[in-house]
Amino acid sequence: MRRADRDTVAAARLYRRFREAPARRARRVTVDIPKAVAVMGTVEFVGYMTTHQGKTHLYIHEFAAGSRPSFCAGPGRNQAFLIGGRYRVTERGIVDYGPSGKPVHARRRYKVVRVR
C-alpha cells in the first residue's frame, strides 16, 4: 500500500474515532513545508469547534508544561505550524504526555468567560 493511501486510511480511522461518525470524504492536500520557520512563541492552548453526535461543541485544550509545542510561521501565505511538544491527537482529542510517556494534565491557567 502506498504511503498516501496508508495516511488516508489512518486519517479516516482517527476521524471516525474522534467524531464518532464515519468520514464521508477524504481530501488529499499538498503541504509546502519550508526549510526554515520563524518561531513565534509557545502554544499555551488551542481552541476549536467540532461536532459529536450531531451537536456542535467548543473545546479549549490547555497544554501541560513540557508538552507545549512551538508556534511557528513559514514565509509563505497560510503557513502556520505547531512543532515539537509532547502530545498526540487521539479519539479523546489532544492528549499531553510527560517525559515518561504517560498522559499528563495541564494545571488550569486560563479562565474562559462567556459573555451573553
Q: Which of 94, 40, 37 minimizes the C-alpha distance to 67?
A: 94
Distances (CA, A) of 108 to 29, 62, 63, 73: 35, 7, 9, 27
Residue with cell 461536532: 51
SS (H, E, C) the chain: CCHHHHHHHHHHHHHHHHHCCCCCCCCCCCCCCCCCCEEEEECCEEEEEEEECCEEEEEEEECCCCCCCEEEECCCCCCEEEECCCEEEECCEEEEECCCCCEECCCCCCCCCCCC
Give the pTM. 0.82
- Residue-wise pLDDT for 57-111, tens only, equals 999 999 999 999 999 999 999 999 999 999 999 988 899 999 999 999 999 998 8
**CB-based contact 103:85 (threshold 8 Å):** no
What pLDDT score does 27 carry? 78
Confidence (pLDDT) at 23: 86
Give the pLDDT confidence score for residue 52 in this predicted structure: 81
pLDDT tens digits, one per residue of 1-51:
676 688 888 999 999 998 888 888 877 788 889 999 999 999 999 999 998
Predicted confidence at residue 113, as pLDDT, reads 80
